[in-house]
Amino acid sequence: MSEDLSGRRIAHYRIDGVLGRGGMSVTYKATDVRLGRKVALKVIGEHLAPDAEFRERFVDEARNTSAIDHANIVPLYDFDEVDGLLYIAMRLVDGQDLSGHIKEGPLTPARTLTLLAQVAEALDMLHGKGLVHLDVKPANVLVTTKEGVREHVYVADFGLTRRGATGHRTRTGDFLGSPTYAAPEHLRGEPVDGRTDQYALACMLFACLSGRPPFQGGVQEVIQGHLGQTVPPLSQLVALPPAIDDVIRKGTSKEPSQRYANCAELIAAARVALAGVAQGSAPTQLGPASGSIPVQSPVSGPTPVQQGPYQGGFGQQPLADPVRLRPPNQVGVSAFTASKKERPVWFAPVIAAAAAIVVIIIVVIILSPGDEPARQPKTNSSPTLQLDDESTSKKPLPTSVPVRTSR
């Protein structure tokens, strides 16, 4: 875990406190003493400062963020290195991330469309510049009411953003990031583009309207869900028209070519599907799971820039180290262990029985007695008696003498 720099000063920034901790960095609330304004200061984790690969990624985040000028993307103020620590100074957003709002329960269709339409606009602009965010999730969408009458959205955290390439990997081939909203091609390390972010946006649409991500369970279960399972029908979880199921199904198609042309088109289709729904109230949860739908903590993730206590998605706990996941195998095979041919059920008992037989044979050989000494040959003939002349003259010679032999 990185040291808490609260109370210290980095360059002309006085660090006032921790906003949140992510896999690669710690975000602080700080004051720019030259201008007297509050900022969000993102500092690379001290345990990663010597790591050339993560330093390169941190620099890429600064460059990508500075190259983007959009009302729905957090503005970057400054970037530098002091005493071996890289930092990025950004606007301090007064509000809460979208995951904190979803944690309270499903959002109304009207609010969902208002917020995600802004996210779609920012992503489409990003894609128009040849960039792919690759970490679109509720925890990276900051919601504030300070910009005007309506809620304003900022898309944050461009630490994984890449210019049209393959799915995000470290040099050792590991997947770095959160699989909770990740597209199949991203998880497999295949080519990615704007439709990869659109998949994540469709999953966010599902989460906003249901109060939970589309796939739940352990990391392996979530990954296998994205790789080979269809997103559950939303209309079976909450009281919404079946038309929304078709929208989400297309947006989360396993084949990128079958998705919408862009993110704005996805939201437009959702608006049509939800046109007949009462926009002012949250959809009612259905079935026996109503009110008790399990909530999954997403795995990983860099921390969003926000003011106030960290409200990571769905009760997310801050991570001390970057989350490195081995590239998943094909569906049906564990995503974190090498594929092995399964042995028949009878294999282990047969091996155990054979081993027991061998042990018994060895014990019998060890405990067997040595060779017995050779016995004298037996004879069935009677012994010959030697008699002197005197005895012969006094007693008659018996015709036979019984002899008892030992058995």
Q: How far does Cα 196 stand from its chain's mean position?
A: 18
Residues 100 and 85 in one domain: no
Mean pLDDT across the chain: 75
82 and 128 housed in the same domain: no
270 & 190 share domain: yes
pLDDT tens string 103-128:
989 999 999 999 999 999 999 999 99
**In a shared domain, residues 163 and 266:** yes
Residues 283, 169 within the same domain: yes
Task: Please state the pTM of the whole predicted model.
Answer: 0.68
- Is 271's pLDDT higher than 50? yes
For residues 79 and 102, membership in a common domain is answered with no
What is the extent of the structural domain holding 176? 96-325
Q: Which of 265, 296, 325 is the last residue of a domain?
A: 325
Q: Looking at the structure, tell me whether residues 57 and 15 fall in a common domain.
A: yes
CATH number, domain at 242? 1.10.510.10
pLDDT single digits (tens) 322-346: 344 444 433 333 333 333 444 555 6
Question: Is residue 330 situated within a structural domain?
Answer: no
**What residues form DSSP beta bridges with 78?**
89
Helix/strand number for the chain, H first, E second: 10, 13
Residue 196 to residues 44, 63, 168, 302, 317: CA-CA distances in angstroms? 27, 21, 12, 19, 26
Quickly tell me which residue has 């390390």 as its tokens.
Answer: 189
Same domain (yes/no): 321, 184: yes
55 within some domain: yes
In a domain, 158, yes or no: yes
Q: Is 255 within a domain?
A: yes
Dist. CA 93–CA 75, nearest whole Å: 10
Q: What is the pLDDT of residues 211-260, one digit of tens each?
A: 999 999 999 999 999 999 999 999 999 999 999 999 999 999 999 999 99
Co-location of 54 and 138 in the same domain? no
Is 42 known to sit in a ligand binding site?
Answer: yes
Residue 309: pLDDT band with limits 50, 70, 90: very low
Does 272 reside within a domain?
yes
Do 48 and 120 lie in one domain? The reply is no
Least confident of 8-17, 74-83, 249-258: 74-83
177 lies in some domain: yes
DSSP states along 330-398: STTS-SSS---PPPPTTHHHHHHHHHHHHHHHHHHHHHS--PPPPPPPP--SPPPP---HHHHHHSPPP
**Is 27 among the domain residues?**
yes
What span, in angstroms and rounded, lies between the C-alpha atoms of 182 and 186?
A: 6
Q: What is the pLDDT of residue 369?
A: 65
Greatest distance between any 2 Cα atoms in the chain = 155
Q: How many other CB atoms are found less than 10 A from the CB of residue 165? A: 13
Under 8 Å between Cβ of 143 and 97: yes
**The pLDDT value given to residue 149:** 66
pLDDT tens for 169-206 read 555 555 666 789 999 999 988 889 999 999 999 999 99
- Domain at 43, CATH number: 3.30.200.20
Quote the tokens at residue 384. 């010959």
CB neighbour list of residue 361: distance below 8 Å, 6 or more residues apart: none
Residue 87 and residue 44 in contact, taking contact as beta carbons nearer than 8 Å: yes
CA distances from 250 to 215, 247, 292 (A): 16, 5, 28
Kindly tell me if the per-residue pLDDT of 57 is higher than 80: no
Report how far residue 240's alpha carbon sits from residue 23's, in angstroms, rounded to the nearest whole number.
37
Domain count, the chain: 2
pLDDT reported for residue 312? 35
The residue out of 38, 66, 91 marking a domain boundary is 91
- For residues 138 and 272, membership in a common domain is answered with yes
Q: At what angle do helices 109-128 and 263-273 cross, to 10 degrees?
A: 160
Active site residues: 135
Which of 325, 359, 380 terminates a domain? The answer is: 325
Instruction: Using the CB atoms, write b or e for 255-283: b if 16+ within 10 Å.
Output: ebeebbebbebbbbbbbebbeebeeeebb
Residues 174 and 307 both lie in one domain: yes
**Where residue 4 falls among pLDDT bands split at 50, 70, 90?**
confident
- The proportion of the chain whose per-residue pLDDT surpasses 70, expressed as a percent, equals 65
* Domain-located, residue 240: yes
Name the token pair of 277.
Answer: 């729904």
Q: What is the pLDDT of residue 221?
A: 92
Mean pLDDT of 376-396: 47
Distance CA 403, CA 175 (A): 98
